Amino acid sequence: MLTRYHSVHADTVPAEVVVVGAGPAGLTLANLLRRNGIGCVVLERQSRRYVENRARAGLLEYRAVEMLRSHGLADRLLELGAPHGVCEFRIGGKRFILPYSDLYEGRTHYVYPQQELVKDLIEAFVDSGGDIRFEAKDVALHGISGSAPSVTWVGSDGEQHRVRCEFIAGCDGFRGVSRPSIPAGGVREFSHQPGIAWLGVLAEVPPSTEHVIYALHPKGFAGHMLRSPTVSRFFLQCPVDDSTAAWPDDRIWAELHERFAVPGSDWKLSEGRIIEKGVVDMRGHVTEPMAYGRLFLLGDAAHVITPVGAKGMNLALHDAEVLATALAGYYRGGDESGLTEYSETCLRRVWRCQEFSQWMTTAIHGTGDRFEDRTARTRLENLFRSPASAAWFAENYVGLM
């Protein structure tokens, strides 16, 4: 029997769970809760149009796709997303192809822009009768250490609203209100900055490759990521204190041409209109535990990982699945074990992905230290000499089951 709440003010709404943030973690959790008959309300600071067009990640692991498919949330993904099982490294002007899918029982990634998944999840939630409040400002969490927390916000109508609940899911990112709502000393936080940054570029141009490219170059890393048949994502290694002002479009394309170059090859990089660019923080951050009282942290609110290896969105989806399963057990039969073990369960995967991301970060980035750069190059070259190393990479890259 689900708990029922009654309004104490005219603008108060009831819910078992309040989900703060309408990104992949929050929306996946909300949909899974609806499918288990658990009442929830989603609060999102931005407008629906904004979140449905916010370009972020675009590579979904096999496990994440299977999870979404099992809950009926992957129809458009499977129709429009492109499976990929090969990546390419360019080292010393030579091309090395790694068919990681063949090395990991045929499992693949799916290339599907995050904003498209967000659109799918919003539509599924709203169509099922879900309650989502966009443009919710001044969100504040109350009573998270007690048995009856609540959340207040100012709605698009300019009025303050309150919802009483049993649990709060903080899915509002690294700079959201959820994690800072935990009292000092309530959690431990671990951070790492590798001393590099990426200039992220989104361009209206068809991909110049059929698979992801990681290029090592004396001037720094360059990456060519896939997004759609008409849009491509590129990355260029740059100083931590760099700014987009230092990167006019002509310089970006010149650097990409130079860093991707393969002498004697007929491969060519296509250019197009740059529609977005920004310096990407390569920080790693983990919060332990990922819960405090009745507040549970998911996705970037709990852990930030470098975009190397494309793990951020996939970790967020895993957090949502674990918490939804835990809450279903609690409401169906009073089983609190899943909630008690939520943080430990998620952190095992989080730290494994952090370790892989750090390995890959050191392998593909130049530091200017000749010794370190040579050992990094050897680390990558070993993937093409050692079947055991290649199999280890494939398992971690395509995602653990």
Q: Is 318 a catalytic residue?
A: no
SS3 97: strand
Give dist(CA 63, CA 400) in Å, integer.
7
Yes or no: say if 357 and 306 are a contact pair by the CB < 8 Å rule: yes
214 is catalytic: yes
- Report the C-alpha gap between 234 and 230 in whole angstroms: 13
The DSSP secondary structure of 129-173, one letter per residue, reads T-EEESS-EEEEEE-TTSSS-EEEEE-TTS-EEEEE-SEEEE-S-
- Of residues 124, 126, 115, the one with CA closest to residue 57: 115
Catalytic residue among 214, 292, 330, 331: 214
Q: 146 is written with which tokens?
A: 């007690």
* Residue found by looking up tokens 């470098």 in the block: 306
Rounded to an integer, what is the distance from CA 42 to the centroid of its chain?
Answer: 19
- Residue 81 in 3-state DSSP? coil
Length of the chain: 401
Residue among 109, 211, 311, 318 flagged as catalytic: 311
Pairwise CA distance, residues 265 & 95, whole Å: 9
Of the candidates 315, 310, 305, 299, the one whose C-alpha atom is nearest the C-alpha of residue 233 is 310
Strands (DSSP E) found in 182-294: 188-192, 197-204, 212-215, 222-226, 232-238, 273-281, 284-288, 291-292
Q: Are 189 and 40 in contact (CB under 8 A)?
A: no
Q: Which of 112, 330, 342, 397 is catalytic?
A: 397
Token representation of residue 139: 């969100």
* Separation in Å, CA 97 to CA 68, 89, 91: 29, 6, 11
* Residue 397: active-site member: yes
**In the numeric block, which tokens belong to residue 300?**
């970037």
State which amino acid sits at residue 146: G
- Name the DSSP class of 215: E
Strand partners, 304: 285
Q: How far apart are CA 88 and CA 96, in angstroms?
A: 6
- The tokens describing 190, both together, are 């671990």
Residue 219 · residue 281 · CB < 8 Å: no
Edge to edge, the sheet with strand 82-84 lists 59-60, 109-111, 82-84
| 311 carries an active-site annotation | yes
Choosing from 307, 318, 342, 365, which is the catalytic residue? Answer: 307
From the candidates 84, 109, 303, 365, which is the catalytic residue?
84
Active site residues: 84, 214, 307, 311, 397
